[in-house]
């Protein structure tokens, strides 16, 4: 089966968050299944991976976006070094940027990507079995192949839409229709509409053959809380499912991870984590004899990042400084500023504002606990990386977090808390402190977490079953 994954991100080519990790791993694991040929198509970015690898141009062409004629190049990575064929779509001025998101004209950017991919496949007469669209950025593909005559060759190709994050839907004004590929005159344009705007995520849900959320827990939540699309998912429920993400256990392996100061497995986790923690604490001026709590992620409302300043100072004050906290991330200015102030005041708190892949690995390996006060968490990968590196997750009971982390009081090896409030999170931190001081229990939790199997093997198969249906 020939599957093309269409995405804005793919690790290690370009990563902003978990979408990249998923698209960099899922096809690799799918290709281990007999009869599967999964590929990835993404925009060209000005990134080290692109410059450091060998690409051949497989297509040159032009598309019209409104009054503009855009030059399209498609490049294929020669060595399939990632475990799948990787195609990059380049359009000077739109798809040749430093980063996937954050540009004022991103609607044009995402439209051009979708248009160019379909133009290339049509021109080369490539008819995949499945087009797998990730998030709203590629959500118009199912509509386009059915309603734009120039992609006639692709009509009837099956489409899957994966919702990694329903908070972002890509709404645009109707004036943008002028920049779409030419649409058949008979088309009922209401399929593009949701609440008076063109809504690519809503269109994906309406037009795809099947869609899924990245965990069962999140899929259930979408029926009641989906930024206005609740009614739509209820209407389209026959096409819906939840498939939990896996993690790439080859990339995320404390036994072989090159970023760590000391590699370790479940059998020598106490010693291994201690060495890593000592190094990290020394670097950030923290006392390694205290338990270390970490947070890694985007400073956004959905992650509960605005709660972090209160969580930090209340945890330190209420425990009389009996713990250390390290935070790696960036985003909302207000949160960055408040956390920076706190890091000046408290020697128990270290802050690194930025995106640092190597540091995230070090924190997963060194921390005793990882805290995730998410308001919304479609799946969440951090808790799974933490567990694989012997770090006990403290998570708000929501979405994918509730599917992956069970509280120790109900037989699991993590800590759950109920509300996305600083009070609930701090209460969970204090529970964690008690656990930390029960050495036997703590050792058992570290080991149990490390032995959980979150590899992609099972979920990659679940996607293949969905394609087969």
Find, among 50, 112, 333, 377, the residue nearest to 222 by Cα: 377
DSSP per-residue codes, 283-324: HHT--TTS-EEEEEEEESGGGTGGGHHHHHHHHHHHTTT--E
Number of neighbouring beta carbons within 10 Å of residue 29: 25
Question: Quick check: 284 binds ligand ADP (CB under 6 A)?
Answer: no
Question: Quick check: 17 binds ligand ADP (CB under 6 A)?
Answer: yes
Residues 26 to 55 in contact with ligand ADP, rule: CB under 6 A: none
The stretch near ligand ADP (CB under 6 A) out of 14-22, 42-50, 167-175, 179-187 is 14-22
Backbone φ, ψ for residue 302 (5° rounding):
-65, -30
- Answer whether 429's CB lies under 8 Å from 290's CB: no
- Is the backbone of residue 181 left (phi > 0), alpha (psi -120 to 50) or beta? beta
Q: Which residues bind ligand GLC (CB under 6 A)?
A: 17-19, 22, 164-165, 214, 245, 377-381, 400
- Answer whether 315's CB lies under 8 Å from 295's CB: no
Nearest residue (beta carbon) to ligand ADP: 18
CB of 362 to ligand ADP, least distance (A): 10
Q: Which residues of 340-357 are buried (b: 16+ CB within 10 A; e: fewer)?
A: eebbeebebbbbbbeebe
C-alpha to C-alpha distance for 464 and 469, rounded to whole angstroms = 9
Q: Which is nearer to ligand ADP, 206 or 375 (CB)?
A: 375
Please tell me the count of residues contacting ligand ADP according to CB under 6 A: 18
Question: Exactly one of 246, 380, 390, 399 binds ligand ADP (CB under 6 A); which one?
Answer: 380
Question: Quick check: 329 binds ligand ADP (CB under 6 A)?
Answer: yes
With residue 370 as reference, give the H or E element that holds it. strand 369-372
Length of the chain in residues, anyone? 469
CB of 213 to ligand ADP, least distance (A): 13
Q: Which is nearer to ligand ADP, 112 or 296 (CB)?
A: 296
Token pair of 337 as six digits: 């500023």
Q: Which is nearer to ligand GLC, 279 or 332 (CB)?
A: 332
Residue 446 contacts by C-beta under 8 Å, 6 or more apart in sequence?
A: 266, 269, 270, 273, 390, 391, 392
**Greatest pairwise CA separation for the chain in angstroms:** 70
Which partner, ligand GLC, ligand ADP, none, binds residue 382 by CB below 5 to 8 Å per kind?
ligand ADP
Q: Which is nearer to ligand GLC, 137 or 164 (CB)?
A: 164
CB of 245 to ligand ADP, least distance (A): 7
Q: Which is nearer to ligand ADP, 151 or 364 (CB)?
A: 364
Which partner, ligand GLC, ligand ADP, none, binds residue 161 by CB below 5 to 8 Å per kind?
none
C-alpha to C-alpha distance for 131 and 281, rounded to whole angstroms = 46
Residues 344 to 373 in contact with ligand ADP, rule: CB under 6 A: 355-357, 360
Question: Quick check: 298 binds ligand ADP (CB under 6 A)?
Answer: yes
CB of 48 to ligand ADP, least distance (A): 15
Which partner, ligand ADP, ligand GLC, none, binds residue 328 by CB below 5 to 8 Å per kind?
ligand ADP
Which partner, ligand GLC, ligand ADP, none, binds residue 89 by CB below 5 to 8 Å per kind?
none
Chain positions contacting ligand ADP, by CB under 6 A = 17-19, 21, 296-298, 328-330, 355-357, 360, 379-382
């Amino acid at each position: 089966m020939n599957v093309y994954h269409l995405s804005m991100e793919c690790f290690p080519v370009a990563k902003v968050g978990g979408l990249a990790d998923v698209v960099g791993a899922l096809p690799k694991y799918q290709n281990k299944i007999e009869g599967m040929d999964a590929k990835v198509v993404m925009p060209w970015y000005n990134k080290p991976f692109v410059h450091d690898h060998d690409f051949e141009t497989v297509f040159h062409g032009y598309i019209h976006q409104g009054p503009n004629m855009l030059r399209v190049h498609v490049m294929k990575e020669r060595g399939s070094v990632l475990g799948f064929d990787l195609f990059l779509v380049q359009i000077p001025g739109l798809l040749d940027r430093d980063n996937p998101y954050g540009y004022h004209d991103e609607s044009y950017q995402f439209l051009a990507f979708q248009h160019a991919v379909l133009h290339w496949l049509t021109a080369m007469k490539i008819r995949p079995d499945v087009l797998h669209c990730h998030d709203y950025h590629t959500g118009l593909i199912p509509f386009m192949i059915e309603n734009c005559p120039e992609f006639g060759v692709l009509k009837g190709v099956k489409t899957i839409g994966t919702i990694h994050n329903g908070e972002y839907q890509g709404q645009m004004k109707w004036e943008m229709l002028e920049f779409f590929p030419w649409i058949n005159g008979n088309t009922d344009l209401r399929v593009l509409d949701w609440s008076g705007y063109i809504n690519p995520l809503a269109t994906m849900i309406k037009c795809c053959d099947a869609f899924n959320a990245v965990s069962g827990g999140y899929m259930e939540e979408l029926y009641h809380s989906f930024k206005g699309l609740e009614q739509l998912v209820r209407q389209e429920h026959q096409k819906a499912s939840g498939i939990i993400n896996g993690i790439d256990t080859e990339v995320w392996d404390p036994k072989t991870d090159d970023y760590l100061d000391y590699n370790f497995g479940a059998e020598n986790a106490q010693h291994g984590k201690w060495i890593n923690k000592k190094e990290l604490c020394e670097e950030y001026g923290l006392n390694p004899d205290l338990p270390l709590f970490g947070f890694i992620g985007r400073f956004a409302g959905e992650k509960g990042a605005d709660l972090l300043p209160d969580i930090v100072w209340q945890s330190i004050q209420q425990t009389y400084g009996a713990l250390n906290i390290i935070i790696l991330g960036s985003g909302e200015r207000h949160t960055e500023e408040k956390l920076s102030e706190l890091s000046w005041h408290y020697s128990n708190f270290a802050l690194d504002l930025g995106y640092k892949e190597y540091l995230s690995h070090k924190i997963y390996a060194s921390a005793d606990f990882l805290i995730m006060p998410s308001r919304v968490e479609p799946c969440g990968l951090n808790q799974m990386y933490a567990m694989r590196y012997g770090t006990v997750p403290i998570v708000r009971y929501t979405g994918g977090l509730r599917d992956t982390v069970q509280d120790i009081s109900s037989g699991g090896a993590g800590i759950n808390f109920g509300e996305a409030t600083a009070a609930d999170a701090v209460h969970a931190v204090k529970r964690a402190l008690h656990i930390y001081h029960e050495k036997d229990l703590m050792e058992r939790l570290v080991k149990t977490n490390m032995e959980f199997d979150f590899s992609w093997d099972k979920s990659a198969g679940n996607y293949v079953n969905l394609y087969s249906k």
